[in-house]
Each structure stands twice: as C-alpha cells, then as structure tokens.
Amino acid sequence: MIQPLINPKELPFQLYEVLDTEALLARERFSEHSKDTFDAILNTADKIATEKFANHNAKADSQEPTYDGQNVHMIEEVKHAFDAYSAAGFMAGRYDFDEGGMQLPESIMMACSGFFMAANPSTAGYPFLTVAAANVIRNFASPTLVEQFMPRMLSGEFTGTMALTEPHAGSSLADIRTQATPADDGSYRLKGSKLYISGGEHQLSENIVHLVLAKIQGAPAGVKGISLFVVPKYRLDEQGNPKTKNDVALAGLIHKLGYRGTTSTALTFGENDDCYGYLVGEPHQGLRYMFLMMNEARIGVGFGAAMIGYSGYQYSLAYAKERTQGRLPPHNSPTDAATEIINHGDVKRMLLAQKSYVEGAISLCLYAARLVDDINTLNAEDEKRSTEELLDLLTPVVKAWPSEFGVKANDLAIQVLGGAGYTREYPVEQCWRDNRLNPIHEGTNGIQALDLLTRKLWQANGAGLRTLQHRMQQDFSKADGEFCLPLVTALSPYLNELQGLIPKLAKGLHSEDQPTLLANAQCFMNIFSSIVISWIWIRQANVAEAALQHCEQADKHYYLGKIQAAKYYIHWELPLIQRDISLLNELDDSCSGMQADWF
C-alpha cells in the first residue's frame, strides 16, 4: 500500500484553518514569507521524508547499528537522509536570515518535522538532536563557543547530543556525579559516566558535540551545583577543524525495544584524565539552560509520539479499507461477498479512537508551536508573558498526553490488522515499539504529572490556568452550531469539576494529605489533559462545522470526520475522568496506603 505520509488535507487544516498561521505573515519577523513559501518548505519536507527517510525505516530497525570495538556502523541510508536534511536547510530553518537561517515560524518547522517523524523517527533523531543542542549553544554559550560550534552543527558537519542521565541518576538529576575540574587554560577536565545518550556515537558527522551536565569541584550539592559543558568528540584546531580525539569513550551501545536506528550509548568521559570541556554560560546554571531546551524537547517528544501514532493510524486505516472479512446484515449468506473490515462497528471504533488520539495530539502540539511563535514575535509584553505562562502550563500535557495516547493508538492499529499486525512483515508493530520510548524519555510521564500538579498549575499565581480558561471560553462561545453546541454542553460539567478541584488541591498539597495527592498525581493529569484535548477537538470541530456551510462537496467527508472524532472523544474518552475527579475529591488512599512489604 503506497500512501502519503500524512493525509494531504491534515496539515493545511491544522495550520491554516484551525491556527490561522497566515496571520503570522503580518509579523515583522515573517514578513518576507508568504503562504507559498510556507507550503514550499512543507512540500520539501514531505519529499525528502518520503524519498530519503521512509525508504529505510524498517531496514534501520532490523539492521540496527553495531559496534566493532572501534567504530559504530549503520546502514548507509541514514547518512544520505541526514545529509539531505541539512542540505535542504532544515537545521537552520528557525534561525535568522543573517545567521544563514530561513527565519521560519516554529509552527511551520514543527509541521515539517511531522513528515520526518512519520517517515522514520529514529533517523530523524540525529538532525533533531543536533538542532536542539545547537539551540542551547546559541542561547547560552559564549560567542567563541557559538562561533566554533554552531555553524558547523547547522550545516550538518557536526552533530549534537544531550548527556544528562547517569547510571544511578535518571529522573533525579540532582544526583549526577560527573566532575569538572578547572584547567589553567580556562577550560575544564571532565570525568564521569553517562547513560542512554542518543546519538552519542556514529560516523554521520565529522564531530559530535556533547552537551554534558557535570559538577564543578566544590559546587553546592543537588541541582544548584550543576553546570553545563560543551564536550566535543574531537577537539578543534586553530582553524576550528576537528583534530585531537577528546577523551570521550563509547562504553557500549544500548539495545532498545524500538527507535533502534538511533544509537543509544553509554559514554565514559575522562577515563585518561584528558577530557576537555568548555563551560556554557555561568557555573551552576546548567540545569536552567538545559531545561530551556528540555521544554522544547518535551513539545518535540509529544509531536513525535503523535506522528508515530498517526503513521500507524494511516496504515491501519488503509488496511481496513482493503482487507475483507465477514459479512454485515442483510448480506449474511456465506455466498455473499465479504465486506471490507472498516464496515464492522468494532473496527470503526478502533479507527475512530486512533483518529481522536493522533489528530487531537497533532492539533495540541501545533497549538503549542504557535504559542512559541507568539512568544517570539508578539510585541506587547503582557501578551507575551501570558502566552509564556500558558505554554508553561500546557507543556507537561503536550509531552505526556500524546506519548500515552500515541502508544495506545499504535496498539489499536495492531489490533485492526489482527494476526498480520503482530508480524514484522507489517509496519504497525514497529510504530508501537518506537513510540513506547516517548512516555519515558525527557521526563517520564509520572514526572510530568508531578510537574503539572505541584508546579505548573500554580506558577504566576495560576495565571496560566486563567489564560487557558479564557481562551477556552472564547472557543466555546463560537461553538453554536448543531454539532458543536452539544459537545460544549457535554464538556461543561467537567469544567466545573476542575474549577472546584483547584482550591482543594491548593490546600491539600500544603497539608498532611500531600502524600495521597502526590500518589494520585496521574488522576489530575488525566482530568486536565482530557479537558484540554476536548477543547482542542472542539476547536477543530468548530472550524469543520463552519466549513461545511461553504466547502466543496469533495471536502465534506473530511470535515464530517473531524466532527465525528470530536464527538467520539467527548462521548467516549472524556467521561473516563469522572473516576479521577472522584478519587481526588475523596482523597482516595489506595495507592498511598500501600506498603512496600505488602506487595
């Protein structure tokens, strides 16, 4: 089955109809662009993703990278894809024209990344990690470091990594032990071990620029003593070319469930006391710098999860339209022709659930990207600040919800294919394995739930939540059509429940009930994210219902599908949070009351 990576209607719908991305053209930063240039870059992404990435998604999975003790080897298609990506200028897509960038909005760049994630998430990992690392250097490093490393990362000559996790310290970065000792030349010598470093070794680039969290000798304990360093695989000569091998060693490749094309490495720094590192910004500020990137990375994780989910959805949809099995009344006779399985009610359910998850997730992530654009280009300081507050609040949801429901979507895609879905002859099982990473990395979903409940909800005295509620009400007030009005009515009691919970939580978190509330943090994530996704679906349905009045006959089905998916989400998925509302209201202690010895 040959099919487009993404339904050609989907991204234009999200970008131009739901988000009004064209409005960005009025902002000074994007004034040299037009809808045509946006479309052109989207088409380029589609073409490169289709031709250079999708072609080896399965192959990179079945022939994963190997290490012979000297070098890491991988199939050559990865390098071709990486080079095509950087040659097309995507690495610098977000940057200023005078930096050699394309000065494109985040909304458009994220939409472009969707093609690569749908085509081949593990090959896409190499350029994406490089862009993320280059961003940190650009924002926080000294002009010298910026000059040395950034241009070569944006050209694809150098690649980048983020080296945070250590064998004993994953979620708890406070406990990292990698040491940095000041040297006479102003640089540092690093010593320590890092684990699960994606892209930590390969032959795709002339150099690998590791961004390493470490503690300068004598630094305060915990997160307040963490600094960030640039640690290149090869140190640069005076011309800025990679020359001397730095003391960074590959201890081994980690073999993963999925995402197999992206090397995951155990790295040793300073085994021979000769590992040079260059401090980024100020000492002890490393976690703050890293978290600015981490917040972007979390949106990227959510969107990647959405796109892998989407990929499986599209495949299972195409399969269900072709595969025949069984019969529907009145054609019950064994001599009647079998029907396409998409006509069976339970298959419709599994496809519609997938659609509601993945298109809901895509829409949410692009909404977040638009907030980034607004933060970057709005002039009014107060608007900018309230947009930042909103994005802060939504970030844990943008990371956790698509990653949880992307995997669920892929699970349903397997089920739609039945026995075929369980074989490696079909692509959906790989989607499921690849996507399973997303609830784990860049802060597990458990960490996201805690972050939301204990921090993001209360930031700036709850200003983010107020902005969100205001924006929701604006969208709900538009929902006056026959399809959308009942959806808002159905959502309304849950909004009231959420409203009623907030003061209880505020109080409970500062009382003896705290451990119980923390054990039930996932309940709040369920409530909050399900309401957010309902709103995101009502936004889509609003646009679709309006479009039905004037669209061409051929487009009606697409819009009706959007409305039906919104209805499905609000009728089938949203009501599940009644459970979570009760558990929080009742301060249920089933989990917090369980003792380790009782298991």
Identify residues 185-204 at the interface with a second copy (CB under 8 A). Answer: 195-196
Q: 307 to 326, contacts with a second copy by CB under 8 A?
A: 317, 321, 324-326
Q: Decide: is 59 part of the binding site for a second copy (CB under 8 A).
A: no
Q: Which of 58, 223, 509, 546 binds a second copy (CB under 8 A)?
A: 223
The verdict on 511 binding a second copy (CB under 8 A) reads no
- Sole binder of a second copy in the list 73, 331, 507, 571 (CB under 8 A): 571
Least Cβ distance, residue 268 to a second copy (angstroms): 17
Smallest separation, CB 53 to a second copy (Å): 22
Angstrom CA distances, 304 to 51, 103, 407, 569, stand at 19, 22, 11, 21
Smallest distance from a second copy to CB 62, Å: 9
Q: Does 500 bind a second copy (CB under 8 A)?
A: no
- C-beta of 287 vs 390, nearer to a second copy: 287
Footprint on residues 235-294 left by a second copy (CB under 8 A): 254-258, 264
CA-wise closest residue to 219 among 284, 156, 164: 284
Out of 44, 206, 564, 587, point to the residue binding a second copy (CB under 8 A): 564
Single residue of 415, 454, 459, 469 touching a second copy by CB under 8 A: 415
Query: Closer CB to a second copy, residue 212 or residue 236?
Result: 212
Residue 202 · residue 126 · CB < 8 Å: yes
- Shortest distance, position 442 Cβ to a second copy, whole Å: 11
Q: Which of 23, 40, 174, 292 binds a second copy (CB under 8 A)?
A: 174
The whole-angstrom separation of Cα 528 and Cα 494 is 10
Q: How far apart are CA 34 and CA 533, in angstroms?
A: 30
Alpha carbon 469 to its chain's center: 24
3-class state of residue 232 by DSSP = strand
Helix (H), strand (E), coil (C) string for 325-372: CCCCCCCCCCCCCCCEHHHCHHHHHHHHHHHHHHHHHHHHHHHHHHHH
DSSP letters for 52-83: IIGGGHHHHHHS--EE-SS-EE--THHHHHHH
Indicate which single residue of 172, 241, 474, 511 sits in contact with a second copy (rule: CB under 8 A).
172
Tokens 């102003």, residue located: 186
Subset of 99-158 contacting a second copy (CB under 8 A): none
The reply on whether position 433 binds a second copy by CB under 8 A is yes
Backbone angles phi, psi at 260, to 5 degrees: -70, -25
Specify the residue, 82 or 568, whose C-beta has the smaller distance to a second copy.
568
Establish if 597 lies at the interface with a second copy (CB under 8 A).
yes
Tell me which stretch binds a second copy (CB under 8 A): 109-117, 290-298, 346-354, 382-390: 346-354
Of 43 and 590, nearer to a second copy (C-beta) is: 590
Closest to 41 measured CA to CA, from 82, 95, 102, 124: 102
Closest CA to 201 of 144, 269, 286, 119: 269
User: What type of residue is 7?
Assistant: N
Phi then psi for residue 228, to 5 deg, are: -115, 135
Least distance (Å) from a second copy to the CB of residue 485? 16
Pairwise CA distance, residues 233 & 185, whole Å: 19
Residue 163 makes contact with a second copy by CB under 8 A: no
Query: Site for a second copy (CB under 8 A): which residue of 520, 530, 534, 542?
Result: 520
283: preceding bond cis by omega (within 30 degrees): no
Q: Helix, strand or coil for residue 192? A: strand
According to the binding rule CB under 8 A, does residue 340 interact with a second copy? yes
Which one of residues 322, 515, 551, 585 is an interface residue with a second copy (CB under 8 A)? 515
Least CB distance to a second copy at residue 223 (A): 7
Nearest CA to 166 out of 196, 145, 206, 189 is that of 196
Our finding on whether 377 is near a second copy (CB under 8 A) is: no
Nearer to a second copy, 20 or 346 (CB): 346
Q: Which stretch, 8-16, 18-26, 182-190, 513-521, contacts a second copy (CB under 8 A)?
A: 513-521
* DSSP 3-state of 181: strand
**Closest by Cα among 32, 10, 42 to 107:** 42
Q: Which of 111, 107, 6, 108 is nearest to 54 (CA)?
A: 6
Choose which of 177, 245, 424, 507 interacts with a second copy (CB under 8 A): 424
CA-based nearest residue to 185, from 279, 281, 45, 64: 279
Binding to a second copy in span 354-373, by CB under 8 A: 355
- In terms of phi and psi (left: phi > 0; alpha: psi -120 to 50; beta: otherwise), the region of 246 is beta
CB of 435 to a second copy, least distance (A): 11
Residues in the chain, overall count = 599
Q: How far is it, in rounded angstroms, from Cα 386 to Cα 396?
A: 17
Contact range with a second copy by CB under 8 A, out of 241-249, 298-306, 374-382, 569-577 = 569-577
Q: Closest separation between CB of residue 205 and a second copy, Å?
A: 24
Among 446, 462, 481, 486, binds a second copy (CB under 8 A): 446
Looking at beta carbons only, is 8 or 515 nearer to a second copy?
A: 515
Min dist. Cβ of residue 465 to a second copy (A): 22
Distance between CA atoms of 276 and 415, rounded to whole angstroms? 51
The only residue of 423, 473, 489, 585 in contact with a second copy, by rule CB under 8 A: 423
Strand partners, 162: 211
Q: Which stretch binds a second copy (CB under 8 A): 95-103, 138-146, 183-191, 436-444?
A: 436-444
How many Å from the N-terminal Cα to the C-terminal Cα in the chain? 48
Dihedral through CA 474, CA 480, CA 481, CA 485, nearest 10? 90
User: Which range touches a second copy (CB under 8 A), out of 43-51, 129-137, 374-382, 557-565?
Assistant: 557-565
Decide if 45 contacts 106 (C-beta within 8 A): no
Does the protein bind a second copy through residue 585 (CB under 8 A)?
no
